[in-house]
A and B are shown apart, each in its own frame.
Chain A
Amino acid sequence: MDRLRIFFSRAWGFLHQKHLDEQLREELQAHLDALMEENIRRGMTPEEARAAALREFGGVEQTKEIYRQQRGLPFLDIALQDLRFALRGLVRRPGFAIASVLTLMLGIGATTAVFSVVDWILFRSLPYPHDDRLVSFGLLAPIERDEFSLGAGYIDFRKEPGSFEAITSMAPGTTDCDITEQNPVRLSCAQVEQTFLPTFGIEPMLGRNFTPEEDRKDAPPVAILSYGLWKSRFGGNPDVLSKTISLDGKTAQIIGVLPARFEMPTLRPADILIPQALDETQQRQSAPGAVLRTFARLKPGVDVTQAIAVLQPWFELAVSGAPPEFRKEIHLSVRTLRERQTSDARLASWILLGSVFAVLLVACTNVANLLLVRATVRERELAVRAALGASRARLARQSLTESLLLGLLGGAAGCGLAAILIRVFVSIAPEGIPRLQQAGLDLRVGVFTLVVALASALIFGVAPALYKPSAEIMMGKEQISARRGGSLRQILVVAEIAISIVLLASAGPLLRSLWKLQNAPTGMETENVLTEQISLGSHNFKEAAQQVAFFTDLEARLKRFPGIRSVALSDSIPPAGQMRSTILVAVEVAGRPALAEGTGGPVGWRAVTPDYFSALAIPILEGRAFREEDRLPTENPIILGETLARKLFPGESAVGKQLRLFKTPDGPWRTVVGVAANVKNDGLQTNGDPEFYLPWKNDPLINLRAGYAIVRTRMNPMSVASWMRSETAALDATLPVNIETMSQRVGKLTERPRFNAMLLCLFAGIAVLLAAVGIYGVIGFLVVERTREIGVRLALGATPQSILKMVLGSVALCTIGGAMLGLLGAWFCTRLLESLLFEVRAHDPIVFGVAIFALVAVALVAAWIPARRAMRVDPMIALRYE
């Protein structure tokens, strides 16, 4: 209580210094006047009276000083004084100030920008309450990247959810759904269970969640709108709850609006939530049932390993219900929601964060170097201050204040740079970096920047703060010399070189891997190929015949255009994945028993029209491509990919063999008519996965609702794009289409590695540049400080070459030390990169060699300029120096 009162009184005093000083002066003056009057009354002359009064009073200024210390907050007083002093110092040496602030701006700005992006991936909580307790669980099979559950098994589990607080399910992915009233639009609908929102802890912003009754088969349709749709289509009108929306021709009652912050756990955009209406009897009849995405909220204190243990019995049961060939290859998987959302972005995020911190460290080292140089220059001033009674702690404090000021200035500038960098990142970043659009400078990032700025200030401020002027200099006995503090500076240079080498050696493999990836053969020719992605609405194109009619119409229209070499239709296109897939055991060869056990791994397939192979220039190795007759319902040809043909018919020709697909005992036997060369289907890193082709025609096996038109042109394909669009619009004006060249599609696959490699190269580049500046600064200063010594040596007959050797020798020592340390660091760091690499080893001796060579070269060039200056020192001038 007392302390608080004293503190407030002092704070008051601190804030009203001027006014209180004036009062104090008056009060003391009055006291002195009174003393003087008294003395005069006793008969002294005014001069004697004044002298006696001052004597009786004791030192006036001393009193004021003690009084002030008692009155204000001396700690802050000194801090302010230091700050003023530091500011004056910076203004007096603008070159030094600008160099330090710019260096810090680079380091802190890059760090802040990277943090603001990876924060969303690594640290920031997901937009669900207690997000750490949310998990995604289910089975993991070779054909599926994320865990799933099967309908019947899920319904069993739902009855006894064990140690889960809540579990829920949703249909995988989102489906296209059309608003079919006025202004028709294509939206994406997510089908979710009634427990979906409560499990994730989300309350609708308006209205309510589905009731269990509404989540049944044949219940009257209801819909929950996303915030975005509510704003855009209903103008944010709260009356929306009394309205209906016509979805794919069915009228659904709007019962709620989601909060603005809501996002699907799968991170797919969804405009509308509709009930999943999972029907128990139907699921049991069609066991194992539909594929579901299943999520759970763990009870407090339960972790993922415990959850796995709890799920094990359920898993055994679920597996026993799965087709026997799957059993061995299915695993149980429980992942936190964050892990599911960010799995493949995490490693890259950590690496980028680490490398940008390394850059920051180099920046700090450089500033520490600059400060040390300045401390040497200011040695005499410091010595004088020490002689006048400044304690070592006081000097250190002054020096730290300067560092903090620099750190804060650098942090402020860095914020500006980060704002620009974030924009650049967002515009050049590839698709699929989670929550990138949300990245920006907010309070959280601001606090991070502040902490980074202060931490950097401490890092680069420690060395200069410990720097103490020696008594000899104070007494003028010793020359100011670069050698004191010199070894410290050399250590800093060694650190810079080591960090730069680690960064270079890490960027190198990424670059090489990128280069290999870009030059990896895709198995097709992508030049002059235009692709159009079309997805037909279920309202306008209900029947398969309508869908076939649309696509064949489109095909005929596109073929009419001059300059077109071939036109093809397919249900999916390489190389971005999404092709249909089955398993090897589902491919039955006539006259051969089925595979003994296991699935044999996934086999991809797609339906294509005859011109598909010519449009993408995929070579037919054996047999023939499809023909127009193959599109007749009576024909059942099949074309195998090279890998599948080799797998099924090793050492013999596949053409003419009979196959039956998809484990359908009454299905048709298909004749292999050809073997096509391998194509990269699921990303560029895969190599010749087994695949086959079926003719695109009206067949219940084939998804006719969505597909691609592929056009090979004689000219620049983009010139055909607008015409392609108008031809499509002529058939149905409301269809959303997505037209891209094949090269763009392939390019997208390298975007992510390119982004990673580019950033890492940028950081490595900055680090090397900073290291070069650091070396230049240190050697330059060394030369200036030793000018006199060099002059003497030259005067005594040293050759300029020997001087050059002397200067460069000191650089070589630093560089070799740094290179050794760097190699050691790189050896450990590059191992982390392994999973990001494609056909490149992490410990690549060539890359290591190049990194070291590059740095040695940079170091020598940076040292060369000051070294040459040393060589040309004129002994006469040098000896008169100082």
Chain B
Amino acid sequence: MSASHGEVLQGTLDLMVLKTLEAMGPLHGYGIAQRIQQVSKDLLKLNQGTLYPALLRLEQRGWVRSKWGVSHNNRKARYYSLTAAGRRQLVTEAARWERMAAVIAGMLAESEGT
């Protein structure tokens, strides 16, 4: 699977997870995966398993916290939610991403122009 087929770039997954949690509130791993798939309109081929190491990484940094709870269909599930630090991180991370995207868009436009 190459990047052109929608593989998730390193680092962007963290941002997607943070944004999802901000938009949806506390959510379990399955819910986060479904949401990302849905928003990306299935353009993104997410290996759902990779979500878990990412969640652990975010938790270790103190950006999300997790709690065991019960899902809507009465199953035991681990719910992740955004912390205050996570919110701040989302703001800086999003800003950086936008700057980056702008730069890349600019470069692409230029190269198309020549």
Q: Which of B29, B48, B56, B61 contacts A56 (CB 8 A)?
A: B48
A9-B60, A30-B75 as given contacts; A63 in contact with B50, CB under 8 Å? yes
Quick one: given A31-B33, A59-B49, are A71 and B56 in contact (CB under 8 Å)? yes
A57/B48 contact (C-beta < 8 A), A26-B76, A31-B30 known: yes
A selection of 16 A-B contacts at a CB cut-off of 8 Å is: A6-B60, A9-B60, A26-B76, A27-B29, A28-B52, A30-B29, A30-B78, A34-B75, A35-B48, A57-B49, A58-B50, A62-B49, A63-B49, A63-B50, A66-B50, A67-B52
Given contacts A30-B77, A57-B49, 17 further A-B contacts (CB under 8 A): A5-B60, A5-B61, A6-B61, A9-B59, A9-B60, A23-B78, A27-B29, A27-B52, A28-B49, A30-B29, A30-B71, A35-B48, A37-B73, A63-B53, A66-B50, A70-B57, A71-B56
Cα-based distance from A30 to B79 in the complex (angstroms): 12
The reply to whether the CB of A2 lies closer than 8 angstroms to some CB of chain B is: yes
Q: Is B62 an interface position by the 8 A CB rule?
A: yes
A468, CB-defined interface residue at 8 Å: no
Chain B interfacial positions (CB closer than 8 Å to A):
28-30, 33, 47-50, 52-53, 56-57, 59-62, 71, 73, 75-78
Contacts of A63 in B (CB 8 A): 49-50, 52-53
**CA–CA, A26 and B62, complex, Å:** 23
Inter-chain contact B59/A27, CB cutoff 8 Å:
no
Q: How far is the CB of A375 from chain B (nearest CB, A)?
A: 37
Asked, given contacts A6-B60, A56-B48, A58-B48, whether A27 binds B53 with beta carbons under 8 Å apart, the answer is no
In-complex Cβ contact of B56 among A34, A62, A70 (8 A): A70
- B-side contacts of A59, CB under 8 Å: 49
CA separation between A72 and B29, bound complex, in Å? 20
Q: Closest CB-CB distance, A50 to chain B, in whole Å?
A: 14
Q: Which residue of B lies closest to A62 (CB)?
A: B49
CA distance A66 to B30 in the complex (A): 18
Nearest to B57 among chain A residues (CB) is: A70
Q: How far is the CB of B12 from chain A (nearest CB, A)?
A: 17
* A33–B57 touching, CB < 8 Å: no
Q: How far is the CB of B64 from chain A (nearest CB, A)?
A: 12
Chain B CB within 8 A of A857 CB: no
Please name the residue on chain B nearest to A24 by beta carbon. B52
Most buried by B among A33, A34, A37: A34
Interface residues of A in 398-447 (CB under 8 A from B): none
* Interface residue range, chain A: 20 to 34
B52 contacts across to A, CB distance below 8 A: 24, 27-28, 63, 67
- With A5-B61, A9-B60, A30-B76 already in contact, the answer to whether A58 and B49 are too (CB < 8 A) is yes
**How far in angstroms is the closest Cβ of chain B from A272?**
67
Name the B residues within 8 Å of A397 (CB-CB).
none
Give the one of A5, A9, A33 with max B CB within 10 A.
A9
Contact A31 B56 (CB under 8 A): no
Q: How far is the CB of B90 from chain A (nearest CB, A)?
A: 16
Central interface residue in A2, A24, A27, by most chain B CB within 10 Å: A27
Judge whether A10 and B49 touch: CB under 8 Å.
no
Q: Given A5-B61, A30-B75, verify A66-B53 contact (CB < 8 Å).
A: yes
Contact of A67 among B30, B53, B76, B77 (CB under 8 A): B53
B48: chain A residues within 8 A (beta carbon): 31, 35, 56-58
Least Cβ distance of A825 to chain B in Å? 56
Complex alpha-carbon distance, A6 and B56, angstroms: 10
Determine if A80 is an interface residue (Cβ-Cβ < 8 Å): no
Main secondary structure of the interface of B (DSSP, over half): helix
Complex interface: chain B residues within 8 A of A34 (CB): 30, 75
CB-based contact B75/A27 at 8 Å: no
Asked if A30 and B30 make an inter-chain contact with CB atoms under 8 angstroms apart, the answer reads: yes
B47 adjacent to A58 (CB under 8 Å):
yes
Residues of B contacting A60 with CB < 8 Å?
49
The listed residue with most A CB atoms (<10 A of its CB), out of B50, B56, B61, B71, is B56
A1-41 residues with Cβ-Cβ distance < 8 A to B are 2, 5-6, 9-10, 23-24, 26-28, 30-31, 33-35, 37
A583 to chain B, nearest CB (A): 84
Please judge, given known A-B contacts A57-B47, A57-B48, whether A10 and B60 are in contact too, CB under 8 Å. yes
What residues on B are CB-neighbors of A26 within 8 Å?
76
Once the chains are docked, how many angstroms separate the CA of A60 from the CA of B29? 14
0/1 interface trace, chain A 63-81, chain B, CB 8 Å (1 if under): 1001100110000000000
What residues of A have a CB within 8 angstroms of the CB of B73 in the complex?
Answer: 37
CA distance in complex: A33, B74 (Å): 13
* Chain A residues, CB < 8 A from B33: 31
Structural contact, A30 and B28, CB atoms closer than 8 A: yes
Contacts of A52-109 to chain B: CB distance below 8 A:
56-60, 62-63, 66-67, 70-71
The answer to whether B56 and A67 have CB atoms under 8 Å apart is yes
Measured in the bound complex, the distance between the Cα atoms of B62 and A6 in whole Å is: 9
Q: Which residues of B contact A27 (CB under 8 A)?
A: 29, 52, 77-78
**Complex interface: chain A residues within 8 A of B78 (CB):** 23, 27, 30
Distance of A210 from chain B, by nearest CB (Å):
65
A297–B101 Cα distance when bound, in Å, is 74
**Chain B residues closer than 8 Å to A66, beta-carbon distance:** 50, 53
Bound Cα distance from A34 to B78, whole angstroms: 13
List the B side residues contacting A2 at CB < 8 Å: 61-62
CB closest residue in chain A, given B49: A63
A697 to B7, CA, bound (A): 114
- CB-CB under 8 A for A70 and B77, given A5-B60, A57-B47, A57-B48: no
Rounded to whole Å, the gap between the CB of A70 and the closest CB of chain B is 5
Q: In the complex, which residue of chain A has the Cβ closest to the Cβ of B77?
A: A30
Residue of A nearest to B62 (CB): A5
For B53, the chain A residues whose CB sits under 8 A away are 63, 66-67, 70
B78 to chain A, nearest CB (A): 5
Q: Chain B's nearest CB lies how many Å from the CB of A876?
A: 61
In Å, the complex CA distance between A59 and B48 comes to 9
Contacts of A57 in B (CB 8 A): 47-49
Please name the residue on chain B nearest to A6 by beta carbon: B60
* Alpha-carbon separation in the docked complex, A357 to B61 (Å): 49
Chain A residues within 8 Å of B30, by CB: 30-31, 34-35
Closest A residue by C-beta to B54 = A70
CB neighbours of B62 from chain A (8 A): 2, 5
Which A residues lie within 8 Å of B50 (CB)? 58, 63, 66
The 3 A-B residue pairs whose C-beta atoms are closest, nearest first, are A58-B47, A63-B49, A58-B49
Whole-angstrom distance from the CB of A608 to the nearest CB of chain B?
A: 90
Cβ-closest chain A residue relative to B28:
A30
Residues of A contacting B47 in the complex (Cβ-Cβ under 8 angstroms)? 57-58
Distance (whole angstroms) from the CB of B75 to the closest CB of chain A = 6
A63→B75 CA distance, assembly (Å): 22
B15–chain A nearest beta-carbon distance, Å: 18
User: Complex: how many Å from CA A56 to CA B46?
Assistant: 8
Nearest B residue to A69, CB-CB: B53
Residues of A within 8 Å of B49, CB to CB, are: 28, 57-60, 62-63
A35 to B76, CA, bound (A): 15
The docked-state distance in angstroms from the alpha carbon of A464 to that of B75 is 54
- Chain A residues within 8 Å of B57, by CB: 70
The residue of chain B having its C-beta at the shortest distance from the C-beta of A1 within the complex is B62
A145 to B71, CA, bound (A): 92
